[in-house]
Amino acid sequence: MRELIAAFSCLDGERLLDRLARAAAAVGGTSCAGFVWVDALGTRARPVHVHVPPGDPLRVRRWLSESGVLKELAVSRAAVRLPRDAAVGEPGFLAVAVPVVARERLFVWVAGREFG
């Protein structure tokens, strides 16, 4: 907790996002996590930070851009949970909205295991 408090006080936004993503991965019991921004109209979503192990063994970066999950997050107002299916490259995915006071939305996500 002290490390997170110290991280919140830093001025380096990218470092703060990385620490928060690592904390989300640890809480979710995975090695992959990040944040996705959704515009106010719910028409566009884009990753703003992706934390994966070196070499991205689950190919999460590629999966995020090709799977359609960003479109699903753009229209979602609730948590998004997708099952893991390693045979077809689905890593297992869970995303929840971060409660912020803004018209845009921000989702924190974790990937890499079954979320049942």
pLDDT in tens, 72-114: 999 998 999 999 998 888 899 999 999 876 778 899 999 999 8
In this prediction the pTM is: 0.84
81: CB partners within 8 A, 6+ apart? 93, 94, 95, 115
Q: How far is 32 from 109, CA to CA, in rounded Å?
A: 8
Can you give the residue ranges of every domain in the chain? 2-111
**59 confidence band (pLDDT: 50, 70, 90):** very high
User: Which tokens is 77 given?
Assistant: 């107002």
18-22, long-range: CB within 8 Å, 24+ apart, which pairs?
A: 18/49, 18/51, 20/108, 21/49, 21/50, 21/51, 21/108, 22/51
Name the CATH code of domain 2-111 (choices 2.40.160, 3.20.170, 3.30.450, 2.30.110). Answer: 3.30.450
Radius of gyration of the chain (CA): 14
Q: 48 near 36, Cβ under 8 Å?
A: yes
Is the confidence at residue 50, as pLDDT, over 70? yes
- Residue 77 to residue 22: CA distance in whole angstroms: 24
